[in-house]
Amino acid sequence: MDALREQTPSDKQYLLEELFYDITLFSNRALTATAHKRSDGKYDVTVNVETHKYKADEKGAETEIPVNDWIEVGALAAPEKGKKYGNVLHRERVHMTTGKATYTFTSDTEPDKAGIDPLLLLVDRVPDDNLMKVTVQ
C-alpha cells in the first residue's frame, strides 16, 4: 500500500482511503436524457443527473458526505439481440460537486441510453437507475 500511496498524486490520495479503508457508497441516477440530431448526422445528448455520496461505518450506519469526485457520464447504443447493454458511444469524466447537474456531449450515432456512471464503476445502491432511455427530439 505504501508504494501505491507514493505513486498517487496528492489530489487523488482520498481515493485510496475510499477504495481500501472506508465503505463508500454512491446513489447515482439519471433524471432525463434527450438528444437532438444535428445537420451533420451527429447527436447532441443532454443528461440531467443526480449523485449523492455516503460513508458507512462498521455497523452499516450511513452518513451523507459532500460529492467532490470525477464521475463518468455517457451514452450507449442499443444492445444487440440477447445483450443487456449496447456499445459505448460516449464516456467522459466530469468533476461533480453538487447533487444535481446537467451535461451535454456529442455522439456520432444515435444513443439508446445515457446517464451517470454508465459502466457501473462505482459502488451504487441502485445501479439500474444510472441510465435511462434517450428521447430523441
Question: 19 lies in a domain?
Answer: no
Residue with the bigger pLDDT between 121 and 13: it is: 121
Q: Is the pLDDT of residue 26 over 90?
A: yes
CATH number for 33:
2.60.40
Cα(22)–Cα(112) distance, integer angstroms: 35
- Mean pLDDT computed over every residue of the chain: 93
pLDDT digits (tens, 9 = 90+) for 112-125: 999 999 999 999 98
Q: Is the pLDDT of residue 28 over 90?
A: yes
Question: 117 lies in a domain?
Answer: yes
pLDDT digits (tens, 9 = 90+) for 85-95: 999 999 999 99
Question: 70 lies in a domain?
Answer: yes
Question: 12 lies in a domain?
Answer: no
pTM of the model: 0.86
Q: Is the pLDDT of residue 21 over 80?
A: no
Q: Is the pLDDT of residue 66 over 80?
A: yes
Q: Is the pLDDT of residue 133 over 90?
A: yes
Domain that holds residue 92: 25-136
CB contact at 8 A, 93 and 78: no
Question: 34 lies in a domain?
Answer: yes
